[in-house]
Amino acid sequence: MSLTLAIVGRPNVGKSTLFNRLVGKRLALVDDQPGVTRDLREGEARLGDLRFTVIDTAGLEDANDDSLQGRMRRLTERAVDMADICLFMIDARTGVTPTDQIFAEILRKRSAHVILAANKGEGSAADAGVIEAYSLGLGEPIRLSAEHGEGMNDLYSHLMPII
Ligand code: GDP
Ligand code: MG
């Protein structure tokens, strides 16, 4: 049975880019429960010799500010409860935002295994944001560039003992 990794974080940090890199064209399962298809995507991931199921969370993109927090909480909790491991992604170029802090609080309260990833980590413009990520209280961030495929070795070494 393969373990499940959920990628969570606010819109536009690069979750789907990482999902696509891990899954490639092997997009396998789409939950067809009403309302679920749009919000959660599931695929079979490969990273080196590791095989696992990955969930991409979406569905927050079109929420206005009033409804964002509640939807975020519900969607994140649903993904986390489906998952064995949670990859929480921030945008290292932007640094930690108040929305990221809300996510971190949700995740700290769940017992799930959390891996923190600071994405868009290519180049020196990300240096400050990577350091800021420590302030989320979720341990050492993995510096990633989902778009350029950088940091995948660090992701591998974090997942390898778990998967
Ligand atoms: P999501 O909303 O979290 O799923 O984010 P997406 O995967 O749709 O990416 C949002 C934007 O960030 C897109 O324009 C991506 O091309 C860009 N992006 C994703 N990963 C990286 C990265 O590692 N570096 C940079 N510079 N841009 C990235
Ligand atoms: Mg997305």
- Of the chain, the percentage scoring pLDDT greater than 70 comes to 88
The interface predicted TM-score (ipTM) is 0.99
Top mutation candidate among 75, 147, 154 for ligand 1, by most atoms within 8 Å of CB: 147
pLDDT tens string 99-119: 999 999 989 988 679 999 999
Residue 144, class by beta-carbon neighbours within 10 Å (0-12 exposed, 13-18 middle, 19+ buried)? Answer: buried
Task: Give yes or no for a contact between 114 and 140, defined as CB atoms under 8 angstroms apart.
Answer: no
pLDDT at 38: 65
pTM for the model stands at: 0.92
Residue 109 CA, ligand 2 centroid: distance in Å: 24
Residue whose C-alpha is closest to residue 145's, from 121, 126, 117: 121
Which of 25, 3, 38, 39 minimizes the C-alpha distance to 162?
Answer: 3
In this structure, the number of other CB atoms found within 10 A of the CB of residue 20 comes to 16
